[in-house]
Amino acid sequence: MTTATQTIVGLTESAASQVKETLAKEAPGKHLRVYVEQGGCSGLQYGLVFDEQRDNDSVSEQMGLSVLVDPFSANYVRGTVVDFDDSLTGGGFKIHNPNARQSCGCGKSFEA
């Protein structure tokens, strides 16, 4: 298993708080995984899931949470910050990726 020497994906306090709350209710013992996969209207799409650590994952510890990123995704999300907005309209997790050349209107898809 690999541990990152630097944080690949950062969390805001708001995102960390929401992840901790959800983990405690729905997935105790798991970690937050941030990943990228083919798809979406811009070619690549983000994913957030609670998961087990795997070989070759980069792991960063932030505000009491382990954030996992696989090697493929790390190429696309280095420097990304995950935020959480609890407003009624447009709320949810927001991903701010400095590597995205173009993002889709939904915010879940991007072009590298």
Is 15 a domain residue? yes
In a domain, 97, yes or no: yes
The answer to whether residue 1 is domain-embedded is no
In tens, the pLDDT along 7-46 reads: 899 999 999 999 999 999 999 999 999 999 887 665 788 8
pLDDT of residue 6: 67
**Nearest in space to 103 (alpha carbons), one of 59, 24, 45:** 45
4 domain residue, yes or no: no
Mean of the pLDDT values across residues 38-56?
A: 85
For residue 11, the one-letter residue type is L
Q: What is the extent of the structural domain holding 48?
A: 9-111
68 vs 54: CA distance, rounded Å: 9
Q: What percent of the chain has pLDDT over 90?
A: 60
The bridge status of strand 9-11 relative to strand 58-62 is unpaired
3 domain-assigned: no
Reported pTM: 0.84
Q: What is the pLDDT of residue 102?
A: 57
Number of domains in the chain: 1
> Does residue 90 lie in a domain region?
yes
Within-domain flag for 93:
yes
pLDDT above 60: residue 81: yes
CATH classification at residue 91: 2.60.300.12
Average pLDDT, the chain: 85
Structural domain includes residue 18: yes
Q: pLDDT grade, residue 89 (50/70/90)?
A: confident
